[in-house]
């Protein structure tokens, strides 16, 4: 077992082998397999705050030992899945909405869930599998790490569908987008029309009324 002066040896192993700040239980157990009882060692690392448990089976390095900032997007994918980051968090990422968002919001094909963690709140809203893939991309978020996140087109449509529902008219749509959400008109006009149409076609196969939001945006671009 590798020794490191001035630092817990188990932590030293993890810091050496971990490719990123976000760790899962299987990886931690593999790294600590030389210990007689790896689970006891993990408990010790949590007790001394060398590791922080985000959720059962998911960890990050404690503040004193972090090598770089953790990725909220990567953690969101890990905490509950299948899922992709979308809604307010993704719209903030693309600077579509002006508000500062603190809850990491995602879409899942599973049941809607909420996880209150030491890092903040992670929420997951359900949408059916038929509408899930269109407009989802694997994005490099930091230091070569990747996370599934909605494109800005998908994030905006998800936001309108999940949070706002149907629109009774184009006037209602404009009031919601430009007055309520305070999205700039040029940002709407810059959206990829072909991708919007692809997302709209996928949602026409669903029993849930997604079409109104998609079609209103397409008409406006």
Q: Domain map of the chain by residue range?
A: 9-61, 72-220
In which order are the strands placed within the sheet that holds 58-61? 22-24, 58-61, 51-55
What is the three-state SS of 46-79?
HHCCCEEEEECCEEEECCCCCCCCCCHHHHHHHH
Give kind and range of the element (H or E) at residue 43.
Answer: helix 38-47
Place of tokens 């002006």: 98
pLDDT (0 to 100) of residue 210: 46
Q: Token pair of 177, please?
A: 């987008």
pLDDT (0 to 100) of residue 95: 95
pLDDT (0 to 100) of residue 2: 44
Low-confidence ranges of the chain (pLDDT < 50): 1-5, 205-211
pLDDT (0 to 100) of residue 159: 94
């Amino acid at each position: 077992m590798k020794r490191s002066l001035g630092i817990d040896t188990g932590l030293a192993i993890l810091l050496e082998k971990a490719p990123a700040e976000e760790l899962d239980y299987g990886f931690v157990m593999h790294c600590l397999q030389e210990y007689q009882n790896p689970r006891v060692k993990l408990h010790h690392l949590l007790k001394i705050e060398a590791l922080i448990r985000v959720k059962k089976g998911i960890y990050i390095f404690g503040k004193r030992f972090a090598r770089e900032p953790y990725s909220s997007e990567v953690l969101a994918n890990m905490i509950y899945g299948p899922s992709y980051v979308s809604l307010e968090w993704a719209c903030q990422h693309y600077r579509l909405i002006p508000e500062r968002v603190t809850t990491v919001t995602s879409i899942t094909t599973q049941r809607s869930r909420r996880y209150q963690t030491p890092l903040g709140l992670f929420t997951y809203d359900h949408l059916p599998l038929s509408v899930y893939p269109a407009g989802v991309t694997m994005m490099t978020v930091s230091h070569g790490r990747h996370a599934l996140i909605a494109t800005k087109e998908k994030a905006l449509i998800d936001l309108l569908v999940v949070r706002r529902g149907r629109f009774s008219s184009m006037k209602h749509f404009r009031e919601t987008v430009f007055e309520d959400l305070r999205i700039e008109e040029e940002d709407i006009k810059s959206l990829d029309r072909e991708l919007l149409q692809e997302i709209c076609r996928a949602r026409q196969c669903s029993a849930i009324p997604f079409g109104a939001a998609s079609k209103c945006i397409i008409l406006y671009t």
